[in-house]
Structure 1
Amino acid sequence: MTMKIGVALVGPGRIATAHVASISKAADIAQLTAVVGLPAEDARTAELARKFGAMRATSDLDGVLADPLTHAIVLSVPNHLHCRIAIQALSAGKHVLVEKPLATSLSDSDLMIAAARKFQRVLMVGQCRRFFPALEQARELLPSLGRPLDIVHILGLPIETAPTDWWSSTDAAGGGPVLWVNGPHFVDTVLWFMGEAPVDIYARGATYNAKQWRGADQMTAVMSFSDGSVASGHLSFNMRPAANDQWIVGPKGTLRILNDRSLFVNGELLTESEPEEYLQGDISFERQFRAFAESVLGKKPPLITAEENRVTIEAMEKIEAKYRQNQIRSGGHV
Structure 2
Amino acid sequence: MTILKIGVIGCGSIARHRHLPEYAAHKNAEIAAVCDIVEERADEMAVKYGARAYTNYEELLADPSLDAISVCTPNYLHAPVSIAALNAGKHVLCEKPMATSKEEADAMIEAAKQSGKKLMIGHNQRFVPSHVKARQLIESGAAGRIYSFRTAFGHPGPEGWSIDGRESWFFKKEEAFIGAMGDLGVHKADLIRYLLGEEIVEAAAFVESSSKPNSTVDDNAVCILKSESGIIGTLAASWSYGKEDNSTIIYGEKAVFRLEDNPEYSLVVQYTNGETVKYELGRIQSNEEGGQSSSQVIKHFVDSIANNHPVPVDGVEGKRSLGIILAALESTETKQIVSLKEKQLI
Could you tell me the TM-score, scaled by structure 2's length?
Answer: 0.86
The equivalences for 1:262-277 within 5 A come to 262-266=266-270, 267-274=276-283
1:264 is paired with a residue whose SS is strand
Could you tell me the TM-score, scaled by structure 1's length?
Answer: 0.89
User: Using a 3 Å threshold, how does the CA distance of structure 1 residues 42 and 238 change in structure 2: closer, same or farther?
Assistant: same
Looking at structure 2, the residues matched to 59 and 181 of structure 1 have their Cα atoms a distance apart, in angstroms, of 25
Tell me if structure 2 keeps the 8 A contact 1:80–1:174: yes
Tell me if structure 2 keeps the 8 A contact 1:221–1:232: yes
The equivalences for 1:234-313 within 5 A come to 234-258=236-260, 262-266=266-270, 267-274=276-283, 278=287, 282-285=292-295, 287-313=296-322
The equivalences for 1:43-82 within 5 A come to 43-51=40-48, 53-82=49-78
2:243 is paired with a residue whose SS is strand
User: Using a 3 Å threshold, how does the CA distance of structure 1 residues 277 and 226 change in structure 2: closer, same or farther?
Assistant: closer
Tell me if structure 2 keeps the 8 A contact 1:148–1:227: no
Structure 1 residue identity aligned to 2:147? L
Partner of 2:110: 114
Looking at structure 2, the residues matched to 294 and 8 of structure 1 have their Cα atoms a distance apart, in angstroms, of 16
| Deviations 1:60-87, CA, capped at 9 Å, x for gaps | 3233212222100000001111111111
Partner of 2:2: 3
Tell me if structure 2 keeps the 8 A contact 1:205–1:326: no
Partner of 1:331: none
Unaligned runs of 5+ in 1: 328-334
Q: Which moved more, 1:313-322 or 1:89-98?
A: 313-322
Partner of 1:25: 25
Looking at structure 1, the residues matched to 281 and 62 of structure 2 have their Cα atoms a distance apart, in angstroms, of 43
Looking at structure 1, the residues matched to 184 and 82 of structure 2 have their Cα atoms a distance apart, in angstroms, of 21
Question: Given the alignment, which residue of 167, 172, 177 partners 2:170?
Answer: 167
2:39 is paired with a residue whose SS is helix
1:103 is paired with a residue whose SS is coil
| Deviations 1:285-325, CA, capped at 9 Å, x for gaps | 2x211111121123432110002222112221111111223
2:92 is paired with a residue whose SS is strand
Tell me if structure 2 keeps the 8 A contact 1:161–1:212: no
Tell me if structure 2 keeps the 8 A contact 1:156–1:237: yes
Structure 2 residue identity aligned to 1:269? K
Partner of 1:330: none
User: Using a 3 Å threshold, how does the CA distance of structure 1 residues 144 and 272 change in structure 2: closer, same or farther?
Assistant: same
Partner of 2:213: 211
User: Using a 3 Å threshold, how does the CA distance of structure 1 residues 233 and 133 change in structure 2: closer, same or farther?
Assistant: same
Question: Given the alignment, which residue of 215, 220, 223 partners 2:222?
Answer: 220
Unaligned runs of 5+ in 2: 271-275, 337-346
| Deviations 1:204-257, CA, capped at 9 Å, x for gaps | 122213523213211101111232211311211111222121111101001111
Looking at structure 2, the residues matched to 244 and 264 of structure 1 have their Cα atoms a distance apart, in angstroms, of 15
Matched, 1:146 2:155: no
Tell me if structure 1 keeps the 8 A contact 2:202–2:225: yes
Q: Which moved more, 1:244-253 or 1:271-280?
A: 271-280
2:146 is paired with a residue whose SS is coil
Question: Given the alignment, which residue of 325, 332, 338 partners 1:323?
Answer: 332
Structure 1 residue identity aligned to 2:182? W
Q: Which moved more, 1:143-152 or 1:69-78?
A: 143-152
Structure 2 residue identity aligned to 1:208? S
Looking at structure 2, the residues matched to 48 and 278 of structure 1 have their Cα atoms a distance apart, in angstroms, of 21
Tell me the matched-pair count: 320
Looking at structure 2, the residues matched to 160 and 196 of structure 1 have their Cα atoms a distance apart, in angstroms, of 31
Aligned-residue offset at 1:158: 1.5
Looking at structure 2, the residues matched to 302 and 206 of structure 1 have their Cα atoms a distance apart, in angstroms, of 34
Q: Which moved more, 1:160-169 or 1:82-91?
A: 160-169
Looking at structure 1, the residues matched to 186 and 192 of structure 2 have their Cα atoms a distance apart, in angstroms, of 10
Tell me if structure 2 keeps the 8 A contact 1:145–1:253: yes
